[in-house]
Amino acid sequence: MSLRPPPSLSPDAPAAPLIDLTRLKACLGPAAGRFDVDALDHCDSTNLELARRPQAPSGTVVVADAQSAGRGRRGRTWVSPPGAGLTFSLLWRFNGPAGRPERLSGLSLAVGLAVAQALESLGIAGVRLKWPNDILLQSTDAPLAKLGGILVETSLERSGAAAIIGIGLNLEAPPDPGQPVAALADACRAAGTAPPDRHTVLAAVLSELAQVLDTFARDGFAALRPAWEARHAYQQQRVCLTGEHSRQEGCCLGVDDSGALLIETGAGTERHLVGDLSLRPAVASRNGPRLILDAGNSRLKWGLRDHGHWLAYGAWPWAEAAGALAALLRQHPGIDTALGCRVAGDAQIAPLQALLDAAAIPLCWLQPSAQAHGVRNSYQHPERLGADRWAALIGAWHREQRACLVVCAGTATTVDVLQAGDGEGIFAGGMILPGYALMRRALGQGTAQLPGEGGQFTPLPRLTEDAIATGCLSAQAGAIERMARQLPAGSPVLLAGGDADRLAPLLGHLPAVLAHGLVLDGLAHIAETSPPARPDSALALP
């Protein structure tokens, strides 16, 4: 192994990298001769750093304490704060036929196997592999969670191919990962052993890589396939494979000699090559609690539903939602499915989806339809009705079984007429207006002199703040009163949403009932009355 000199130790010099090359060489032992290691305290991405060194010999390694632009598949970010992770990339050349594209298709699987075997050699049990490039950890007291990832980038060369093999492993759990993660330190603590030092881990992985990549170059992935399948997280399990425009369920038979994933669909065995596909188990045991989500414009409301009861529920502003959901998933490792309604944008939803994917919790979003769960939807385009309104209407019908007015006082206020038909509820129509807070903000932002907050409802306001609070609240109450005229006198007015409490006192002459959990209740009813085998099918149809 050739050593780069350490940076000079002047007061202004950057901190020495956490990897000490002399110590690494000692850990590598005889394998040291196969690698040329460069240790950095930080870089953008170790894969990019290697790509900028096209003349580097095979066996060049760049290891960095921190990456500012670590990447995963499809350009996803790999979180690697200083010290918590071990992130490095290896350049490896495959000469002659071993470098042909069809021979390299199983490379990221071979690398995963090498990492798993290296960790096992250090006494870490429960390492599992997820096709095509994730390293998971199955510990006794936590769900299957991601321990590391692999990003392989290959390029053709005159004499074969060059592969840049990037590997990220969590030594310690990152402070705010945004998704459930596993860390080597936690696994060791749970097993009562001391966590291995980063030099030991890096040396073990590199040594194992040298052996596995030799076998791969000589005999192809076929020679490694049994060992990979023995560690496969979803071998012989029902899985769901999703792409941008596709979704397939079936039994995962494992992989073939080229590393393609094999799924038995009932209509035959489908073969999937590594691409933009995500794999997760399709199994919904229906034994654990269900996560119910109402993804609104201001907040994420959630509840944990178990055998007809709420175990816990709450609401998080979007800025806190991903971190709070990650913590909730850690606290409740048994959650088996999730059902939600969403009107929030993709930027809010993507981190939730990633968290649930990582925890292998299938998530279905409610799709409004023309008729479902005892309610008929008279909207001209039923599918365009807000999913939260649809869930609230279903919750209201399930609760009242009679005509009622359904008010959701959130970012927007919706006032929906639910009539009683022949044994079914009929959503006859409804209105949308800015919610109380949005009205106030609009006045504050759209005028030079009006304050955006403060004041209270006063029958005859004589202060600007009171005049605004009273005007905006009266607009809400007036809309409700007008719509209530569409229903038989005495029909209940159900009030849900973050501003329901403010409105209730203003509707004294109407039979107003606070029903904060109407959307979550509706979703829970839907989840509990959907056919068990296919949780999503009853939600999207008809």
Ligand X SMILES: CC(C)(COP(=O)(O)O)[C@@H](O)C(=O)NCCC(=O)O
CA gap 5, 59 in Å, rounded: 18
Segment 298 to 357, residues that bind ligand X, using CB under 6 A = 343
Catalytic site includes residue 388? yes
Q: Using the minimum distance from each CB to ligand X, give the nearer residue, 234 or 302.
A: 302
Bond into 542 cis (ω within 30):
yes
Whether 356 has a binding-site annotation, put simply, is no
Whether 399 has a binding-site annotation, put simply, is no
Which two tokens mark 56?
């580097």
Half-sphere exposure of 376 (CA within 13 A, CB side): 11
385 binds, among ligand X, ligand ADP, none (CB under 5 to 8 A by kind): ligand X
Whether 312 has a binding-site annotation, put simply, is no
Part of the chain binding ligand X (CB under 6 A), chosen from 108-116, 134-142, 164-172, 403-411: 403-411
Whether 25 has a binding-site annotation, put simply, is no
Residue at 454: amino acid letter: G
498 binds, among ligand ADP, ligand X, none (CB under 5 to 8 A by kind): ligand ADP
The answer to whether residue 297 forms part of the interface with ligand X (CB under 6 A) is: yes
Per the CB < 8 A criterion, the answer to whether 122 and 114 are in contact is no
Half-sphere exposure of 61 (CA within 13 A, CB side): 28
Give the residue at shortest CB distance from ligand X: 386
Least distance from C-beta 48 to ligand X, angstroms?
A: 40
For residues 98, 103, 107, 110, the Cα torsion angle rounded to the nearest 10 degrees is -80
Q: Using the minimum distance from each CB to ligand X, give the nearer residue, 384 or 485.
A: 384
Which two tokens mark 524?
């829970």
The burial class, CB within 10 Å (0-12 / 13-18 / 19+), for 408 is buried
- CA distances (Å), origin 225, targets 106, 113, 222, 254, 260: 9, 9, 5, 9, 11
Per the CB < 8 A criterion, the answer to whether 414 and 430 are in contact is yes
The answer to whether residue 535 forms part of the interface with ligand X (CB under 6 A) is: no
CA gap 327, 261 in Å, rounded: 32
Q: Which of 65, 336, 388, 499 is catalytic?
A: 388
Those residues with Cβ within 8 angstroms of residue 68's Cβ, 6 or more apart along the chain or in another chain: 42, 43, 44, 45
Whether 189 has a binding-site annotation, put simply, is no
Whether 387 has a binding-site annotation, put simply, is yes
Segment 418 to 477, residues that bind ligand X, using CB under 6 A = 432
3 state DSSP class of 352: helix
386 binds, among ligand ADP, ligand X, none (CB under 5 to 8 A by kind): ligand X
317 binds, among ligand ADP, ligand X, none (CB under 5 to 8 A by kind): ligand ADP
Part of the chain binding ligand X (CB under 6 A), chosen from 182-190, 207-215, 404-412, 447-455: 404-412
Part of the chain binding ligand X (CB under 6 A), chosen from 84-92, 140-148, 408-416, 479-487: 408-416
303 binds, among ligand ADP, ligand X, none (CB under 5 to 8 A by kind): none
The answer to whether residue 184 forms part of the interface with ligand X (CB under 6 A) is: no
CA gap 281, 234 in Å, rounded: 7
3 state DSSP class of 356: helix
Q: Using the minimum distance from each CB to ligand X, give the nearer residue, 133 or 414.
A: 414
Among 410, 455, 517, 522, binds ligand X (CB under 6 A): 410
CA gap 222, 190 in Å, rounded: 35
Segment 374 to 393, residues that bind ligand X, using CB under 6 A = 384-386, 388-389
Least distance from C-beta 379 to ligand X, angstroms?
A: 7
The residues that touch ligand ADP, with contacts defined as CB under 6 A, are: 296-299, 315, 317, 410-411, 435-437, 497-499
Among 296, 303, 382, 425, binds ligand X (CB under 6 A): 296
Q: Where are the alpha helices (H) located in 122-262, listed in sequence order?
A: 184-191, 198-219, 225-230
499 binds, among ligand X, ligand ADP, none (CB under 5 to 8 A by kind): ligand ADP
Whether 178 has a binding-site annotation, put simply, is no
SS (H, E, C) 406-426: EEEECCEEEEEEEEECCCCEE
Give the residue at shortest CB distance from ligand ADP: 498
Pairing of strands 404-409, 493-496: parallel
Least distance from C-beta 411 to ligand X, angstroms?
A: 4
Sheet bearing 337-342, strands edge to edge: 309-317, 299-306, 290-295, 337-342, 363-365
474 binds, among ligand ADP, ligand X, none (CB under 5 to 8 A by kind): none
Binding residues: 294-301, 379, 386-389, 411, 464
Residue numbers annotated as active site: 388
Instruction: Give contact residues for ligand X (rule: CB under 6 A).
Output: 296-297, 343, 384-386, 388-389, 408, 410-412, 414, 432
- Mark the binding-site residues for ATP, compressed into ranges: 294-301, 411
Task: Give the annotated binding-site residues for substrate.
Answer: 379, 386-389, 464
